[in-house]
Amino acid sequence: MTFLDRQLGRFTMYRLVTVVLLALAAVAVVQSALGVLDSDIFPVDALLLTLAVMVATSVLVNLVVGRLVGARPHLESSVVTALILWFLYWPSTHAEQLGWLALVAALAQVSKYLITWRGRHLVNPAAAGVVLSVLLGWVTGWPVPFTGWWVASESLFWFVLAGALLVLHRTRRLALGAVFAVVAVAATVWWQVGIGAGLEEAIRFTLYSTPIVFFGGFMLSEPLTLPPRRTQQLGVAALAGVLFTWPLLTSRIFGEPWTTEPFTSTYELTLVVTGLVAFALRQGSRTLTLRERRRLGDDVVEYVFAADRPLRFVPGQYVELDVPHGRVDTRGRRRMFSVVSAPGSEVVVATRHPEPGSSYKRALAAASPGDRMRVTAVHGDFVWPSTGPILLVGAGIGVTPFLSQLAAHPGRDVVVVLGEREDQPYVAELEASGARVVRMPVEEVGGAAISDLVPDLSDRTALVSGRPDFVDEVARSLRGRVRRVKRDHFLGY
């Protein structure tokens, strides 16, 4: 686990995006004050006033609408949406223009509650706000403002790139961002060359005058509007790259852009389409009712829930569990858990409760039978290949995904290497699974020791689960010794 991972792991996904976007906003304001950004177009007072109006509107509307529909509003997400919208619209000090921008922010928040299915919003709220405002202006003839995407400027580019890389690294979605960027950059450069620009000029235009990096880093990467599997996410990224540059591609191929009124740009529509595709590939949320709680060790607790509808997942995937509670700390009200149980109506997860715990862990520990929580997402690719022998390496609470995997694949050739920690949970269950279980102190687990114990190691696919530092160290030691290594990485948001 690198120093960067440890530092970023201190933030929830929403908190990290909020901090990065606020830092970018501060850079923009400073650049305006220094004249780096054109102060006639981006005066400091207009930037700050527009930001205040959009943030205040987003938070207020999210709070009011959430309470009206009986939901607990997630206020930090409304701040993120407002910050993204701020970078899309020209700043203003005029009351009428600010009123329209407030309307866009309000529509973005309303979309989270209206454009939903079983508790999940279907499209990125910022994109929904823009699209709804454009449609409203088109239908009514009202002078609703259009986006300018002024974040795509040369002076901001390197700051945006650094922020986007931090967010994508934190969410393990660098590949998604790269696929989108390659497709969108290639299409835009191809179009530029087609209208007579030189290659260097085309590249500069693409990097400094299009919002590809901002879009991929802060909008396309939103976990709630992505499909659950990595291959699906990469496919959606490629599709987004095509749709993002659709007017340019069709202009180059057919001599004129193919667009649909009232949309001359497809940036926001891209997120609408990809959100709907992602929705078709994932299941909706599930309401869980706590049935019982079992203590497995000094600080390890297992929670058994009944789901309102059967939970579908591939054994080894993880669920995002939303536990509503007051005084939410910086870690937020959602966590990722590997599922101990098989797919179905009973959902079992386990976790440690260190002291002092986060607000989330304290709320979970205080829950009583009958209390309700919600699975808001199923994600992950920590799943077995369809054929071939398997090596499972885990330690501590990291063995939890192995239980559902072993239950789903009885009779498979599996060796489990268990790095035992104090009060190691699920030892008896693993030994009763039919797999060969090798137990050793956690500090001795490594490629060399495993090679001595598993003669056919080179034929096996290894799956390593546990604390990030354990996973990184063991996975490195297994490289070149096994057919393939898969890590159980999920960092939440």
Of residues 316 and 490, which shows the higher confidence score? 316
Token pair of 216, please?
């991929």
Rounded to the nearest angstrom, the gap between the alpha carbon of residue 111 and the centroid of all alpha carbons in its chain is: 19
256 and 297 assigned to the same domain? no
268 and 295 assigned to the same domain: no
Residue 117, pLDDT > 60, answer yes
Please determine, for residue 2, whether its predicted confidence score (pLDDT) is greater than 80: no
In a domain, 201, yes or no: yes
Count of domains observed in the chain: 3
- CATH assignment at residue 320: 2.40.30.10
Q: How is 372-394 classified by DSSP, letter by letter?
A: EEEEEEEE------SSS-EEEEE
pLDDT score, position 121: 72
Examine the fold and report which residue of 379, 413, 428 is the final residue of a domain before the chain moves on: 379
What would the pLDDT profile of 161-175 be if each residue is shown by its tens digit? 999 999 999 888 999
Q: Which pLDDT belongs to residue 493?
A: 33
Res 119: pLDDT: 60
353: its two tokens: 């409760």
Q: Hey, how many other C-beta atoms are within 10 angstroms of the C-beta on 386?
A: 6
Proportion of the chain above pLDDT 90, given as a percent:
75
- Tell me: the pLDDT tens digits for 231-268? 999 999 999 999 999 999 999 999 999 988 888 889 99
Q: pLDDT at position 69, please?
A: 83
Q: Are residues 341 and 410 in the same domain?
A: no
Query: For the segment 463-479, what is each residue's pLDDT rounded down to a tens digit?
Result: 999 988 899 899 999 99
| Same-domain pairing of 268 and 398 | no
**Do 309 and 367 lie in a common domain?**
yes
Task: Report the share of the chain in percent with pLDDT over 70.
Answer: 96
CA angle 125, 14, 146 (to 5 degrees): 30
61 within domain boundaries:
yes
Three-state DSSP class for residue 327: coil
Burial of 213 (0-12, 13-18, 19+ CB in 10 A): buried
Write down which residue in 336, 359, 379 finishes a domain: 379
Q: Give me the chain's average pLDDT, please.
A: 91
Residue finishing a domain among 379, 408, 443: 379
Query: Does residue 453 lie in a domain region?
Result: yes
Query: 25 and 43 share a domain?
Result: yes
Q: What is the CATH number of the domain that holds 438?
A: 3.40.50.80
pLDDT category of residue 435 using cuts at 50, 70 and 90: very high
The pLDDT value given to residue 388: 95
Check residue 299 and give its pLDDT: 85
Residue 90's domain comprises 3-279
Give the pair of three-digit tokens for residue 37: 């950004």
pLDDT band of 489, cuts 50, 70, 90: low
pLDDT confidence of residue 488 = 86
